[in-house]
A = this chain, B = another copy of it.
C-alpha cells in the first residue's frame, strides 16, 4: 500500500484538499493518504519547504509527497516531479523541495527531476488556478500506483533552489535564525545541535532576552521558565516550559539568535 502525503497552503475550510483526495481515490484507490499540513501561510514557500522536509524522512520508501504552495500557478513556472533517494515529490518547481534535494545530494542518493509535460497523466481539463487538483494530485496518484517517473515528463537538472537561512560561525560562537515557530510557540533555529557538542558554557541571546545553558527536555525545568534545548529534529530550540516562547518574546520567523560560547571554550 503506497503512502501519499499532502502539504499545502489551502487551509481546511474550502474542500480543496478533499477534492485532491477524490482525484487520488479515482486513480490509486489503494493509496493511504497522510496530511502533513495545509496551514502553510499563503504563498510562503520556505515555510512549506521546511514542514515537508521535517516530515518526509519518517515516511516509508516509495512514498509520494505532493506539495502545493504555488504563487506562480498558471504562469510559466514548471510543474515537476522528482525521485529523491527512495521517495518521490510532486509539485511546482519553485523551491518547495530544495531542502529535500540538498539532503539527497549530500547523501549521494538519486536526484531525478522531471518537468511534468505529459498531459496523459493530468485531469482532462486543466484550470489556470488549481494545479493541485488538475496536475499534481493525478500525477502523484499515478506515481504511487507504479507509473515510472520518466513517463510523466521530460528530465531536467536545474530545479529552482530556495536560499535557505543558515547559521554562521563567528568569533563568539554562532549567529543562528528562528526557522520554525510551532503550535506550542517553541522556536526552532537553523543551528544543528551538533554544533554545540561538548560545550557547557553557552549563552543564547534573542529578542533582547538571554538563556543560559542547554537542558535535556521541557520537563526538567519549572513551568514558565525560558529554556534552550536540542529539538526532535536535532536543532537548537528555545522554549518556555508549558508555555509559549513565541508569545513571551514576541518572536518572528527569521529573527537572529546569537549563540555565545563561554570564554574558556570559545577558542577550543
Contacts and interface: CB of A to CB of B under 8 A. Distances in A.
A59 B43 CA distance: 27
Contacts of A190: none
Contact of A216 (B14, B19, B128): B128
Contacts of A35: 12, 17-18, 21
A35 B34 CA distance: 11
A218 interface: yes
A56 B75 CA distance: 27
Nearest to A31: B32
Interface residues of A, number: 71
Contacts of A71: 218-219, 242
Given A25-B3, A34-B33, A219-B75, A232 B127 contact: yes
Given A13-B183, A74-B220, A60 B229 contact: no
B15 A25 contact: no
A202 interface: no
A15 B52 contact: yes
Report copies per complex.
Answer: 3
A60 B14 contact: no
Given A18-B55, A21-B34, A128-B217, A60 B29 contact: yes
Contact of A183 (B10, B36, B59): B10
Nearest to A239: B129
Contact of A15 (B14, B23, B37): B37
A77 interface: yes
Nearest to A184: B42
A55 B127 contact: no
A59 B26 contact: yes
B36 A13 contact: no
A175 interface: no
23 contacts: A5-B22, A7-B18, A12-B39, A15-B36, A15-B37, A16-B183, A17-B35, A18-B55, A22-B34, A22-B58, A22-B60, A25-B32, A25-B63, A43-B242, A71-B242, A127-B232, A128-B216, A128-B217, A128-B230, A129-B232, A129-B237, A130-B232, A134-B232
The 5 A-B residue pairs with the shortest CB-CB distance, nearest first, are A74-B217, A130-B232, A11-B183, A75-B219, A18-B36
Interface of A: 1, 3, 5, 7, 9-19, 21-23, 25-26, 29-30, 32-39, 42-43, 51-52, 54-56, 58-60, 63, 71-75, 77, 127-130, 133-134, 180, 182-184, 216-220, 229-234, 237, 242, 244
